[in-house]
A and B are shown apart, each in its own frame.
Chain A
Amino acid sequence: MVSKAIENQVIVVTSGKGGVGKTTTVANVATALARNGYKVVVTDLDIGLKKLDLIMGLENRVIYDIVQVIEGECTLKQALVKDKRFPDLYMLPAAQTRNKDDIRPDQVKSLCDELRPDFDYIIIDCPAGIEQGFRNAIAAADQAIVVTNPEVSAVRDADRIIGMLESAQFKDIRLVVNRLRPDMVRSGDMLSIEDLLEHLCIDLLGVVPEDKLVVPSTNKGEPIVLNEKSAAAAAFSNIARRLTGEGVDFPDFTENESVWAKLKSLGRNLWSGKGA
């Protein structure tokens, strides 16, 4: 299959804070893109703390890693792991017994340049933090996806990361909000999508609702996006479609303010003498 000559084909998925769902986003968006007929490679740059192989269920197929490729111990082709389900999906594993300082941004850049002609999308899983690992991960990227949760510390770190991406001249930075609970937003106990966009001032790429099906799918090493019953799956498919330029509407997360929330604000307003 010949690459489709896509603009901004190298995508870094980053967040600042750990545990917000970067690797889950990488695995699911890549799987959805591959299902839609694109040729995709995912690259784990979390050297020393690799997880992408496990999330994608490919841990038993790993032979070489990215550090060995960079150090010339094997070829890039030898290190690429083929996905179980989609023939056009590949993974380049991180090294587990090395650390972030063992590779440099220019090496990641030339490695991605080597991958560009053979793939439609190259998706980079960035480690948490703002140090060497982050610099390595953004070095080759044409666009960035910032993943956050509707939670103050994740938003603060996302803001810092967006600032750093802007300083690094990124023009295309979009937001994925993961683990949203619309019921909690409605009851006034969680930041809403509108709140997050107001604080972070970047374009929205997707909203993934909290979904109990994600943990069991991770346990099994099967991307949730393949589970038709999952709300998170629909969200990840939509993100993949928006990435390829398709216009996909966002579901309305604000409508249907609950009766409880209405009563609550009524109570509040009556108390403060503003009337309903």
Chain B
Amino acid sequence: MLDFLKKVFTNEKSSRTQANERLRVVLTHDRLGASSQLMEVLKVEIMEVIARHVEIDGTPEVNFVSEGRHSALDINIPLKGR
């Protein structure tokens, strides 16, 4: 009962919510077949390639997005206007 009251009156997430959050993270990485470092490496290398040809303006974003079992890289690189 004490445990229950503690749960009610503190803002503790249910273990089910925690399980869902943790699964979302590990499954995304598992499906990609890589660690979270991969995203950083990709970001740096993609930007290097782009910067070789055009001038980058602002902060580029490289994100991993997933829908169902399918995943995609969402790359947003602002370019300097001429």
Measured CB to CB, the residues of A under 8 A from B are: 152, 155-156, 159-160, 162-163, 166, 185, 187-192, 195, 199, 201, 260, 263-264, 266-268, 271-272
- B33: nearest chain-A partner, CB-CB: A163
Are the CB atoms of A188 and B16 closer together than 8 Å? yes
- Tell me whether A199 and B27 are in contact in the complex, defined as CB-CB below 8 angstroms, given that A267-B9, A271-B9 are known contacts: yes
9 smallest beta-carbon distances between A and B, as pairs: A188-B14, A267-B8, A201-B68, A201-B69, A188-B16, A271-B11, A189-B15, A152-B19, A159-B27
A23–B41 alpha-carbon span in the complex (Å): 43
Using Cβ atoms and an 8 Å threshold, which residues of chain A touch B14?
Answer: 187-189, 264
Q: Are B69 and A156 in contact (CB under 8 A)?
A: no
- The answer to whether A156 and B8 have CB atoms under 8 Å apart is no
The A-contacting residues of B in range 13-60, CB under 8 angstroms, are: 14-17, 19-20, 22-24, 26-27, 30-31
Task: Determine whether the beta carbon of A190 is less than 8 Å from that of B9.
Answer: no
- Give the Cβ gap from A186 to chain B, nearest Cβ, in Å: 10
Does the CB pair B11–A155 fall under 8 Å? no
B10 interfacial contact with A, CB 8 Å: yes
Contact yes or no, A268 B69, CB < 8 A: no
- Minimal Cβ-Cβ distance residue in B for A261: B14
Q: Which residues of A contact B68 (CB under 8 A)?
A: 201
Q: What's the nearest-Cβ distance from chain B to residue A247, in Å?
A: 24
* B8: chain A residues within 8 A (beta carbon): 263-264, 266-268
The number of chain B residues with a CB under 8 A from chain A is: 22
**Roughly how many angstroms separate A201 CA and B69 CA in the complex, as a whole number?**
6
Closest to A202 in B: B69
- Given contacts A166-B69, A271-B9, is CB(A156)–CB(B15) below 8 Å? no
Q: Complex: how many Å from CA A266 to CA B16?
A: 17
Residues of B within 8 A of A159 (CB): 27, 30-31
Contact B16 A190 (CB under 8 A): yes
Instruction: Please name all residues of chain B whose beta carbon is closer than 8 Å to the beta carbon of A199 when the two chains form the complex.
Output: 20, 23-24, 27
Contact call A185/B27, Cβ cutoff below 8 A: no
CA separation between A159 and B29, bound complex, in Å?
A: 11
Give bound CA distance, A155 to B21, whole Å: 13
Residues of chain B within 8 A of A201, CB atoms compared:
68-69
Whole-angstrom CA separation of A190 from B15 in the bound complex? 7
